Chain A
Amino acid sequence: MTTLVYLVPAALFLGALGLSGFLWALSSGQYEDLHGAAERILIDWDDKLER
């Protein structure tokens, strides 16, 4: 029983961390172009073009 006192809050905290991470990613527009993001990692930009 005593272990539950810190294990349950710890589990919930980690879960909430994941949830808030997802909501942040959503609101910062990271889900707006999933296809594009997958392709962009393959692009070598010239050094002059900063991106």
Chain B
Amino acid sequence: MALEVAASALPSSDEIKLATRSLGGHGYQTDLSVPAVHCGGCIQAIEAALAKLENVESARVNLSTKRVSVRWHGDQVPPLFATLGRLGYKAHLFDPEIHEKDKTLSELIRAVAVAGFAAGNIMLLSVSVWSGAEGATRDLFHWISALIAIPALAFAGGIYFRSAANALRHGRMNMDVPIAVGVSLAYAMSLYETINQGEHAYFDASVSLLFFLLIGRTLDHVMREQARTAVNGLSRLAARGAVVLRDDGIREYVPVAELAPGMRLLISAGERIPVDGDIASGNSDLDCSIVSGESAPKAVGAGAHVQAGTLNLTGPLTMRATAAAKDSFLAEMVRLMEAAEGGRSRYRRIADRVSSLYAPVVHLAAFVTFLGWMVASGDWHRAMTIAIAVLIITCPCALGLAVPIVQVVAARRLFEAGVMVKDGSAMERLAAIDTAVFDKTGTLTLGRPKLVNASAIDPAMLAIAADIAAHSRHPFSKAIAAHGGSADQPKLLSVREEPGFGIEALAGDDVWRLGRRGWAGWKARTGSEGKPGGYGGTVLSRNGSIVACFAFEDAARSDAKAAIQQLKGAGVSIDMLSGDTERACSEVADALEIDNFVPALLPSGKVEWIEALTRADHKVLMVGDGLNDTPALRAAHVSIAPATAADIGRKAADFVFLRESLLAVPLAMEVSRRAGGLIRQNIAIAIVYNAFAVPIAILGHVTPLIAAIAMSASSLLVIGNALRLQGFATTTTAPSATGAGS
């Protein structure tokens, strides 16, 4: 993610301390996310280099999560970032609270292990019963099976029993209810048979059912965890704290939550503004793109009001806080976001909808079977046995796997293409959309200006300008510096940045200035002032006379146009909502062939727009990155954010794409739609299976052997069908394979 990180400074040692855990005594542990780690060589280089630093006790790289945890002691923070930077690895801190271990995953894996052990052993014993063990031997095997099944049901089945009880308590129905009912009734009936030295016991069916379903559930969890880890590992954009200037002149680093109105804060170039406030002194340019969606940097001076989250680009500022963090712009967005909680909370997953129809039908069928056999034979034991056989054969092994397996395979595919899926229901929702709403700055565009008239500028002048521009981190300067050539140019003697105005350089006897027209061209007040020049006039001047003009436009994200075309081709209508000016919006809309756009929207305006579309029965996809988009991301039916989005935006979005190409959006939609189709196929397979199996069971022909074969076969069929998604060649070209970490 070279997009954003380059603009921000390395974290200060105060900030590192805030994100560090104390291990008691003088020991500390700092965890860093290093996305570029990818091989054994990286592990060796990083661990060796960090371990050599003074005060560092140990450094351990985790290649799976792409993290490094460093244990150190003493008062001085070791130069971790500088060391990693020298090795060529970009690192960032992440919050200690993300740290807690994933308890659910280890519980699930333990349950799978126990259920697998029990299923294997019981199946061995069952095979001997099926192949002819009789009398005392059979009873012995049944008793051993019953004993092995008890801990498996209690430990592995507990997950399903708790979930089913929870659903029933809230008057809802989910897939776990028929599973819990089927498994426990099968066990109870088999135990009764065993005590009475009966012939048929279903211990193997109840335990292997749990085993299969747990595998599906664990894979599902692993997939979401992987996406969550990848998103959490992205660099944090919000400030963690700020340097406060006390009245007695002492400087102190204070966490954001403790900043109070009236405090004086020092903001150096490259830092984000932590809270709302007014500038007391200093001149600089602010990048507001992530806050308001304005693409052009804003020059600010003393007295100007600044919003939390904006990035200070060029000069140091002293500001006076006017609001605490909890009353700042960011907190306002969080409140709007909570209020906007819309479509997704009402959404019911396909599996839950199916099971709310399926479970009553199955339970009713078993009950009617019981009544029928009671009337026909008058033997309640036989009627009970057959009714439970119906429950076991219909117990939704295939149905329970039908949905998660497809979603796991789909998420895997998207993961390989750099798209993280937060949960399975997001894919179901994305498959249903008919309208896509895009934010402009940072989503359709990169929020990064590009020089458009380079070919019209004298190459010698452009080379000098690029040389000068390389000294500044202003986005315009970076755009010009990218055109640096190898032409012979006068050596620059001294370069000085005038924050808010431009850069001045001395070369020989000449004074070169690169910056605002009024400041750089002080001798040329008249004439070309009104010429069009992208946004604002940026010029190069020699001794006060303008020698070159530069025009910029916001660079479109790569493949933005192709992505829009593909979405349109898939029958999705496109809207663009932006906080930027009408002119900037219409330029982008024209270039990308977007028909509908609304400029100059406030965050609440975006939410209202989406809510209006929702009321008109549209299913809306929101794609956005800024703080101002966050409430809209939450209000939409489903949402996607780029990796460069603001922190809370990434948290609010259902999908996060890590690569630059916008083709990730149509790809995610296509994979989701394919997955939706496969899910329906799988459910149909499960229903067809039941249509054959249920009559056999009702007629009383099902033995434990038939049940075991039928259940395994239907599960394998469903899994095999889901795997077809892995091989499918997309009609969309996959986003370019530039690594996410470089």
Q: Give A residues with C-beta under 8 Å from B.
A: 1, 4, 8, 11-12, 15-16, 18-19, 22-23, 26-27, 31-36, 39-40, 42-43, 45-46, 49, 51
Contact = CB atoms under 8 A, between A and B. Distances in A.
B526 interface: no
A23 B40 contact: no
B95 to A, nearest CB: 19
Contacts of A1: 136-137
A35 B136 contact: no
Contact of B43 (A39, A46, A49): A39
B121 interface: yes
Interface in B41-89: 43-44, 47-48, 51, 61-65
Given A11-B121, A40-B40, A49 B110 contact: no
Contacts of B106: 26-27
Contacts of B366: none
Given A16-B117, A32-B64, 14 more contacts: A11-B121, A12-B148, A19-B117, A23-B110, A27-B106, A31-B109, A33-B63, A33-B64, A35-B64, A36-B64, A39-B63, A42-B40, A46-B48, A49-B47
26 contacts: A1-B137, A4-B137, A4-B140, A8-B144, A11-B121, A12-B144, A15-B117, A16-B117, A18-B117, A19-B114, A19-B117, A22-B113, A23-B113, A26-B109, A27-B106, A31-B109, A33-B63, A33-B65, A35-B63, A36-B61, A39-B40, A39-B63, A43-B40, A43-B43, A46-B48, A49-B51
B39 interface: yes
A36 B62 contact: yes
A10 to B, nearest CB: 12
B416 to A, nearest CB: 15
A1 B148 CA distance: 20
B120 interface: yes
Contacts of A4: 137, 140
When A and B form their complex, which 7 residue pairs have the shortest distance between CB atoms, in order from nearest? A39-B40, A36-B63, A35-B63, A33-B62, A19-B117, A33-B64, A43-B44
- Chain B residues touching A, majority SS: helix
Interface string B121-142: 1001000000000001100100
A39 B64 contact: no
Contacts of A19: 113-114, 117
> On chain B, which size bracket covers the interface?
20 to 34
B119 to A, nearest CB: 11
A36 B117 contact: no
A49 B48 contact: yes
Contacts of A49: 47-48, 51
Nearest to B61: A36
Contacts of B121: 11-12, 15
Nearest to B110: A23
Contacts of A31: 109
Contacts of B63: 33, 35-36, 39
Contacts of A42: 40
Contacts of B113: 19, 22-23, 26
A26 B43 contact: no
Nearest to B37: A36
A43 B61 CA distance: 13
Contacts of A43: 40, 43-44
B51 A26 contact: no
A34 B64 contact: yes
A42 B41 CA distance: 9
A26 to B, nearest CB: 6
Contacts of B117: 15-16, 18-19
Given A12-B121, A43-B40, A26 B110 contact: yes
Nearest to B62: A33
Contacts of B110: 23, 26
A46 B49 CA distance: 12
Nearest to B133: A4
Contacts of B61: 36
A51 B57 CA distance: 12
Contacts of A15: 117, 120-121
Contacts of B136: 1
A45 B137 CA distance: 58
Interface in B349-405: none
A31 B63 CA distance: 12
B687 to A, nearest CB: 36
